[in-house]
A and B are shown apart, each in its own frame.
Chain A
């Protein structure tokens, strides 16, 4: 392999890893606070791409307006999913909530098929992002620079919120002990809503970037990236934000590199993520960054 193609793969890996990381953060934040895998997260991610599509094609918004609207509406959508599917089951056994999460996921997917239609739609990519940067003989699509930069910026903002603000402190407190958090005067339900809102907004950012890179929109497009990002979150140690990011980059990068170095295995691309998941669960179930803490009951 020439150095040129290697750099191209590297930039693709970084971009894909960024996307996984953005989605994985949502899984990990919700898990951290509710001990729940939000199976609808991939579908929330999907919704954001369609909001951009309709914003631009139907409501004739400029692309950047459509992006902002998509991020905000997707955040609200995530909060609604929690209100409707999870909050009523707050005191129920965890298995009920999990089933509700799977139900929510199917419901969103099927509603999306009914409302958006099953025929693929083209994500409206602004020309700006279609440019390609040339360095000598290497040509790298603009999106491959843009995606990691947006991801890292989002991550810095997120870490600031979680670690430095009062709300972030409350989020960490709630993730440890609901009751003690209530005794501090924290409105636990609000904090959970904020968590869903932030996680869904990050998924929306991921969705928009995904659309720019893979502009073919179908209602089920959230399933695979959702599963992969979930795996990334588990690899990093679910509940840990930095872990989710590391897991995302690791998974995205290795997926691209495997195809690059072993093209004959291209067909196993998706299987690879699951093999990695099984390996992690066997050898380090708490993930790379996770501590071996006993499960909260």
Chain B
């Protein structure tokens, strides 16, 4: 579904991504792990064109999207849950969710999906008339995930969706990720919680200072000595 070849991204003079290549096959869960500042978020931002790639190509459904506009990508089912939630705090919970479906044309389906998201996150339903800014951090994170689901993604890019959530809710989120994946949504996941991420992933990439240093099946990475030492705290 997504194929990145030899991607370089700069922030001014800072060379943040130094020629990475990766692939996300249709219907799979792929995770991207690595230390702080490794370049994980930058990779997802480059896919969504929030950062300009300097070199390399990105393709989606076999089409070159290296210079495609963000709004076009969203329309075509490529959706990002950004780092740090980024919900619209001045809008109500329900308005946030409806905006998630902004690019969609099928308004009947939108209504059904809204009910579905409320089923996944009953808390959001309770709070639906409330301004998003008045919700707790964890609730806002649920909203960010729910909002992305409202976009009807084909590929969902998730930048630390479990950040700041209580362990029980983290489990919920991962169950939801698995569930939407089983509905046919391809997932590229960034997680600090490498163990849980790799457990549900078909494939994983390990990033270090702008490079991919290791890749493999989720299970194999879990067994890898270096990964264990660096990311699994063993």
Contacts and interface: CB of A to CB of B under 8 A. Distances in A.
Interface in B81-119: 82, 86-91, 95, 98-100, 102-103
Contacts of B80: 183
B75 interface: yes
A182 B71 contact: yes
Given A185-B151, A186-B71, 20 more contacts: A169-B99, A170-B99, A170-B102, A173-B91, A173-B99, A175-B90, A176-B88, A177-B86, A177-B88, A182-B50, A183-B48, A183-B74, A183-B80, A183-B86, A184-B74, A184-B100, A184-B103, A184-B147, A184-B151, A186-B99
Interface in A141-191: 166, 169-170, 172-173, 175-177, 179-187
B70 interface: yes
5 A-B pairs closest in CB distance: A185-B103, A185-B74, A180-B86, A182-B70, A184-B102
A176 B87 CA distance: 9
A181 B74 CA distance: 11
A12 to B, nearest CB: 36
B32 interface: no
Nearest to B96: A173
Given A173-B99, A185-B103, A186-B102, A180 B88 contact: yes
Interface residues of B, number: 23
Contact of A169 (B75, B95, B103): B95
Interface of A: 166, 169-170, 172-173, 175-177, 179-187
Given A182-B70, A183-B70, A184-B74, A172 B91 contact: yes
Interface string B42-86: 000000101000000000000000000011001100011010001
Contacts of A180: 82, 86-88
A172 B132 CA distance: 13
Nearest to B72: A185
A176 B89 contact: yes
Contacts, number: 61
Q: Which has the most chain A C-beta neighbours within 10 Å: B74, B89, B91, B102?
A: B102
Contacts of B70: 182-183, 185
A195 to B, nearest CB: 15
B90 A176 contact: yes
A163 to B, nearest CB: 10
Contacts of A172: 88, 90-91, 95
A170 B50 CA distance: 18
A185 B88 contact: no
Q: Which has the most chain B C-beta neighbours within 10 Å: A169, A184, A186?
A: A184
A169 B82 contact: no
11 contacts: A170-B99, A170-B102, A173-B91, A177-B88, A179-B86, A182-B50, A182-B70, A184-B103, A184-B147, A185-B70, A185-B103
Given A169-B99, A173-B99, A185 B71 contact: yes
A186 B100 CA distance: 10
Contacts of A176: 88-91
A187 B91 contact: no
A176 B160 CA distance: 22
Contact of A179 (B79, B82, B98, B103): B82
Nearest to B84: A180
A271 to B, nearest CB: 36
Contacts of B50: 179, 182-183
B207 to A, nearest CB: 22
A175 B88 CA distance: 9
B112 to A, nearest CB: 18
